[in-house]
Amino acid sequence: MTLAPTDTDEGQRTLDLDRAHVFHSWSAQGALKPMAIAGGLGSTVWDADGNRYLDFASQLVNVNIGHQHPRVIAGIKAQADLLTTVAPAHANLARGEAAGRILARAGGEFSKVFFTNGGADANENAIRLARLVTGRDKVLSMYRSYHGNTGAAISATGDWRRVPNEYSRGHVHFFGPFAYRSEFWSQSVEQETERALHSLERVIQAEGAASIAAILIETIPGTAGVLVPPPGYLTGVRALADKYKIVLIFDEVMAGFGRTGDWFAFQNAGVNPDGIVPDLITFAKGVNSGYVPAGGVILPPWIAEEFDERVFPGGLTYSGHPLAMASIVAALDAMSDEGILENATTIGRDVLGPGLRALAEKHEVIGEVRGVGVFWALDLVEDRDTRQPLGPSAIGAIKAGLLQRGMLPFSADNRIHVVPPCVITRDEAERGLAILDEALDSL
């Protein structure tokens, strides 16, 4: 596949139309100066002027299979020639094939998939399912989390975006483990796990266990900082959910489908050494790398069978849209056939992990390196002793330096996240590390 020709006039027209007519998310509109992306291929994108960038953001941590993968494009085209849309009440081959492939990767504990249009409404419907099967109302989720921008999903979210949007009822938040910035005055990782679990159980007891429908957690909180759970934490949460008969939901929207080098983050031995399994899994993003909007909830038999005779009061016009389903089938087949998960594991273990830790040895501004696979974050600090987060102006300077040197970065708060596509090559990963090194040097 060849790169698209550059066209400066088209780039300016793109920007003019955007600023005239497009209302952007999570932004004050007046000062926006978006980059006009003209094309992409693999781990690279380029603008209309021909400037090329390593996409170390994977857009929004979703282009796991890389840009313009030919098998996914071919799958979408073939489905478009056959049937472009169908009502969700009808059976459709692409939908069934997609569900079968997802379940094969989730494991034998699961039996059905409810398809949504993305991650937010996946979490929305997981919450709905938990409330329906338990007859309870409350949902517990972490302060350091992001679950989407619809009613219950944004209320379940823990970060600042929740505050102006708290219209949904029954949401309670708790602090999860984060040893580097402990809320529990912990002196060790083991102590952090113990105290975080104790705190969660006290929240359950104080809220009234009989009122709690679900505990909703990102298996690895992503936007909050790639917070890989310490050993024993997920096992402890599973035990609490069982003890108090609470549905355990793992949000794998960002962490799933290759990001950790596994189909799901909870299948990663380093993340979940005891191999515990949630009751519900939500997914989106990497399932088809965002080529067509898609997400869903993976259900076990005991929840799915609740609705054999009882109507499930939920649905979406585009649930299981044929073009999205065809892109899922093609993406998952390509990821299996081409060893893309194995590549993510290898790049993380042999290149990104060691390379980022080497950068931390060199640059005092890096307080901590966290991650697995192609899912990493650099926690940047003013001072390593105090762990004072690096300020916005310095983060802005680093981002500008990365763009100047040909990297499209993902940043959040005081962090630079290193989240390239799962198809990234060793040479590209090493080039990305060199760009990070140069940008931090210039700071």
Per-residue CA distances from 370 to 57, 274, 330, 418 (Å): 16, 21, 31, 10
1 in a structural domain: no
pLDDT value at residue 2: 43
Instruction: Say yes or no: 139 and 216 in one domain.
Output: yes
Low-confidence ranges of the chain (pLDDT < 70): 1-6
Q: What are phi and psi of 139, to 5 degrees?
A: -125, 125
Query: DSSP H helical segments within 244-380, as ranges?
Result: 301-304, 322-337, 340-347, 353-362
79's enclosing H/E stretch is: helix 70-82
Give the residue among 67, 72, 110, 423 at the shortest CA–CA distance from 249.
110
Instruction: Say yes or no: 328 and 392 in one domain.
Output: no
Instruction: Say yes or no: 232 and 344 in one domain.
Output: no
Range of the domain at 406: 8-68+339-442
- Domain CATH code at residue 172: 3.40.640.10
2 in a structural domain: no
Instruction: Say yes or no: 230 and 263 in one domain.
Output: yes
Give the residue among 257, 279, 275, 253 at the shortest CA–CA distance from 266.
275
Distance between CA 103 and CA 409 in Å, rounded?
Answer: 33
- DSSP 8-class letter at 352: I
pLDDT value at residue 6: 59
Q: Which pairing describes strands 212-218 and 247-251: parallel, antiparallel, or unpaired?
A: parallel
Instruction: Say yes or no: 238 and 298 in one domain.
Output: yes
User: 337, 368, 390 — which closes off a domain?
Assistant: 337
Numbers of helices and strands, H then E, in the chain: 14, 16
Q: Where does residue 341 rank: exposed (0-12), middle (13-18), buried (19+ CB within 10 A)? A: buried
Q: Between helices 353-362 and 426-442, what is the axis angle to 10°?
A: 20
pLDDT value at residue 320: 98
pLDDT tens by residue, 150-194: 999 999 999 999 999 999 999 999 999 999 999 999 999 999 999
pLDDT value at residue 8: 75
Instruction: Say yes or no: 94 and 198 in one domain.
Output: yes
153 in a structural domain: yes
- Domain CATH code at residue 14: 3.90.1150.10
Instruction: Say yes or no: 106 and 248 in one domain.
Output: yes
CA-based R_g, the chain, Å? 22
Instruction: Say yes or no: 46 and 181 in one domain.
Output: no
**Measured in whole angstroms, how far is the alpha carbon of residue 126 from the centre of its chain?**
16
Instruction: Say yes or no: 263 and 164 in one domain.
Output: yes
Domain count of the chain? 2
pLDDT value at residue 284: 98
Query: DSSP H helical segments within 161-188, as ranges?
Result: none
Q: Between helices 322-337 and 340-347, what is the axis angle to 10°?
A: 60
275 in a structural domain: yes
Distance between CA 213 and CA 248 in Å, rounded?
Answer: 9
Instruction: Say yes or no: 166 and 282 in one domain.
Output: yes
Six-digit token pair at 281? 């899994």
The structure's pTM equals 0.96
367 in a structural domain: yes
285: alpha, beta or left? (left if phi > 0; alpha if psi -120 to 50): left
Distance between CA 388 and CA 367 in Å, rounded?
Answer: 9
Instruction: Say yes or no: 423 and 312 in one domain.
Output: no
156 in a structural domain: yes
Q: What are phi and psi of 337, to 5 degrees?
A: -70, -35
Query: DSSP H helical segments within 107-188, as ranges?
Result: 119-134, 151-156
